[in-house]
Chains A and B, each alone.
Chain A
């Protein structure tokens, strides 16, 4: 690591002010950021820790019935406290990394980082959630902009994520054997007015909605409905763990399994 200063604001307003400093960067659980710093791949001069901000912690329900999760909420807390209202989301959180990761890592950090293999972005996108920042509210469909890219501006922080709760939903994760991040994972959410299917781990453009499957499942919510549908392997990640074609194939399998789990 290179040397840096640390700021520990206790309010969102103070955090935003601290992030105004030259070369400042927010830090939540540090589960992605600390390894990056240790490998000397980043050189922030100030780290602004968001951990002490109470207003970014915890889970509640708003008057529209949405599950509102503070940006600083740990994976382990979501795994436990969202289990009754949104079991698919809680189950996703429960299978991120290992206990140490789940007790440091946060939903805000995961969503802001938008790793192409991260779990949360698929839930956010499939749920049609709203990402709340210190400055505005951003619809999930507008938030994720490709590998490690989001609509966040410099110094903008994710303070909360609001999830409409689907009638039913399921997250099907096929792990990359080394990292245990998803090699391909699919989040299927069935709402009264249609089905949303979000895929992570697969595409070079990061998390995406599989609209063909959504259309087919919206008219017939059955695993058989997507039989014959395929995604194109050419835009898929190809690496030592699997070719683009393999990932494209897994998108279909994981989607079918998610739907089957709900039928």
Chain B
């Protein structure tokens, strides 16, 4: 019997009522009295010296309020980077200045050069066309390996080269790893590209700045996954506004996928300009601007090698990756190819020796940062493609090779610095074999072949790290922030609760899932709990939502605060029931005295807290409101096994996904329906990366895939009906809910299964190409089949 409330119930998403009926309140819905509009004049040149920006003709255009250029921001701070990586020599990464508006140079197509604030967007845009910009074009660097060669044009003249850092992990292991390769019975080598992606949230970015001259208070409304982080970064590092004079509001946000974590120039601009113009200033990104100004994702070029002994045990792994940073360091960019990627290279396997090298490179392209999965998809893709290649080179079954090398004992300390608390990789693989109907594959292949098609089956495993993270650990790794989460639980007099959470929901369903936890803890209906998030003015300092951390970290903070509430409520109940506190039990929304029929309802206790006539005022304060900050002891480690079945048309190269099965271990599950939805969404993005999505530049740094005419994202008809199972559950051992996180698994776990399946199909047609890069487009498959 499915539960109809509390933990484990598939409660319907209450937020969907407003989202699906057009009643959401998104940033673009916010229109303030006297608001002016900003249009950014963006560079159409990838790399050049900015000789002059002449705004004189534009200033005289109708409707113009004020025009800003880079010179107006000379006294303003650089857009900060939130993570400092230390290279393999112990040196800090190279960190360039990132101006709000370009100054001296332009470094990527889409970089803002000037901003026109006007009475209407049309007038702002007209005036922008009258700005005369003089740029001397310089040769652009686009290819990462070219960028780090001697004599390559430098993106930043004041840095020594285009190399941001050269990271070795674990540097001390390198000698032993190299020795293991010398001693290996077999070595498999794979070179691959992890394609650059554009996040494409349905809602483009928006910022509205507001300034109250009477009080000196600033407000920024913005499409953010973490308003407190924006307040700190922008206030402290860019504009010099103390937190108590700056409020950041991220209301309903229509999808983030990572790209709305970061602090962007447009936010700082609107906040700054609102004061300079003394009126609200609004910017709404067009879809075209989003393509060239939202941080992109992925973009790694990797060589990976596995050493095996004569019994096919993995003995060592080494990788060599070039990671694109783009022209500037976006907020968390340096951490993605290092701490969110290198630490995951053990995967599900007990490979004893691992060495990861990552060279982060500046190029004349849009900055690259976290995108759904951030680092873990890159790790999973290379490892799981490599393991498949090992199996084929050795002539062994790819699943058997995986099983043979699985980690089976937990906790398990990997050679790449993390400790997996729990997992059962055999169980998820068993489940996968069942739900993917592997047994029926040969019959399905025969049916495809009868139609002149090829059919392929591909699997992979994944392990990922969610719930970032212990603050002291990430501090050692270079994070310039703590990564706890916070919650304030406010109980009202008549018993309803409001939770002010530092997590932020931009599609995840917190407003539904979080109340389920409290309902379970107290034994009251979910409807009695309301979630408030997204406004620094009424939520405690929190780090926001990304890295599938909301329930594991934010939910844990809420549990801790609710535990404090329950403890206090028991004190009140013991007073009301004239019993000792230790005998009070809370069940089904009532406090009772153990072993008696004496009880008092939840609502009577909460009322007593606020109308304390009969109340132990000498011992406890009135009121019922508690705050907790939760700092996790470890990451959480969701894992799983995925299978993809494709049909390939050998005449056209067209690949269609016929079946896709996902067996995940997310630990305990609060709302199975929401979890299934998260997996579905992740799979769509992972399959999109594998088959369709590709953000490409030409050698001059012009963005070729700059609109939906050329950037392909999957539609419903491109995707199969998924078989999703999350019944394998090894609860997390260190958070109170035993939860692990499910938001990114689909995107992390699916690309290798797709590519493995395509290669299997090609092999069945007599063509063993060894590897094919994503996206596996019809043209690429055809070229590979006929190469």
Query: Which residues of A does B touch, CB under 8 Å?
Result: 1-2, 39-40, 174, 177-179, 183, 240-243, 246, 249-250, 253
Tell whether, in the assembled complex, residue B777 and residue A241 are in contact, meaning their CB atoms are under 8 Å apart: yes
Tell whether, in the assembled complex, residue B652 and residue A174 are in contact, meaning their CB atoms are under 8 Å apart: yes
Cβ-based interface call for B418 (8 A): no
A240 to B777, CA, bound (A): 10
A243 to B651, CA, bound (A): 15
Cβ-based interface call for B528 (8 A): no
Q: A177-B692, A240-B710, A243-B783 are in contact. Are A253 and B705 (CB under 8 A)?
A: no
- Of B692, B709, B779, the contact of A179 (CB 8 Å cutoff): B709
Interface residues of B in 706-757 (CB under 8 A from A): 708-713
Contacts of B779 in A (CB 8 A): 241-243, 246
- Of B125, B288, B704, B713, the contact of A240 (CB 8 Å cutoff): B704
Tell whether, in the assembled complex, residue B777 and residue A177 are in contact, meaning their CB atoms are under 8 Å apart: yes
How far does the Cβ of B708 sit from chain A's closest Cβ, in whole Å? Answer: 6
Tell whether, in the assembled complex, residue B651 and residue A178 are in contact, meaning their CB atoms are under 8 Å apart: no
Tell whether, in the assembled complex, residue B692 and residue A250 are in contact, meaning their CB atoms are under 8 Å apart: no
How far does the Cβ of A23 sit from chain B's closest Cβ, in whole Å? Answer: 17
Tell whether, in the assembled complex, residue B705 and residue A242 are in contact, meaning their CB atoms are under 8 Å apart: no
Query: Which residues of B does A touch, CB under 8 Å?
Result: 122, 125-126, 129, 288, 651-654, 692, 694, 696, 704-705, 708-713, 777-779, 782-783
Contacts of A178 in B (CB 8 A): 692, 705, 708-713
Contacts of B122 in A (CB 8 A): 1
Contacts of A40 in B (CB 8 A): 125, 129
Question: 30 A-B contacts, Cβ less than 8 Å apart?
Answer: A1-B122, A2-B126, A39-B288, A40-B125, A40-B129, A174-B652, A177-B692, A177-B712, A177-B777, A177-B778, A178-B705, A178-B708, A178-B711, A179-B708, A179-B709, A183-B778, A240-B694, A240-B704, A240-B705, A240-B710, A241-B710, A241-B777, A241-B779, A243-B779, A243-B783, A246-B653, A246-B778, A246-B783, A249-B782, A250-B652
Contacts of B710 in A (CB 8 A): 178-179, 240-241
- Of B125, B126, B708, B782, the contact of A246 (CB 8 Å cutoff): B782
Closest to B707 in A: A178
A174 to B649, CA, bound (A): 12
Number of A-B contacts (CB under 8 A): 46
Closest to B649 in A: A253
Contacts of A250 in B (CB 8 A): 652
How far does the Cβ of A246 sit from chain B's closest Cβ, in whole Å? Answer: 5
How far does the Cβ of A137 sit from chain B's closest Cβ, in whole Å? Answer: 34
Grouping DSSP codes into helix (H, G, I), strand (E, B) and loop, the B interface class, with mixed when no group exceeds half, is loop
A203 to B713, CA, bound (A): 25
Tell whether, in the assembled complex, residue B652 and residue A253 are in contact, meaning their CB atoms are under 8 Å apart: yes
Tell whether, in the assembled complex, residue B704 and residue A242 are in contact, meaning their CB atoms are under 8 Å apart: no
A123 to B652, CA, bound (A): 22
How far does the Cβ of B91 sit from chain A's closest Cβ, in whole Å? Answer: 38
Closest to A178 in B: B712
Contacts of B696 in A (CB 8 A): 240
How far does the Cβ of A201 sit from chain B's closest Cβ, in whole Å? Answer: 13
A240 to B652, CA, bound (A): 16
A1 to B783, CA, bound (A): 41
How far does the Cβ of B596 sit from chain A's closest Cβ, in whole Å? Answer: 67
**6 closest residue pairs by CB, A with B:** A178-B712, A242-B779, A177-B712, A179-B709, A246-B779, A253-B651
Contacts of B125 in A (CB 8 A): 40
Residue in B122, B710, B779 whose Cβ sees the most chain A Cβ within 10 Å: B779
How far does the Cβ of A252 sit from chain B's closest Cβ, in whole Å? Answer: 9
Contacts of B126 in A (CB 8 A): 2
Contacts of A39 in B (CB 8 A): 288
A249 to B787, CA, bound (A): 14
A253 to B653, CA, bound (A): 11
Contacts of A1 in B (CB 8 A): 122
Closest to B704 in A: A240
Residue in A39, A241, A243 whose Cβ sees the most chain B Cβ within 10 Å: A241
A179 to B708, CA, bound (A): 6
A179 to B696, CA, bound (A): 16
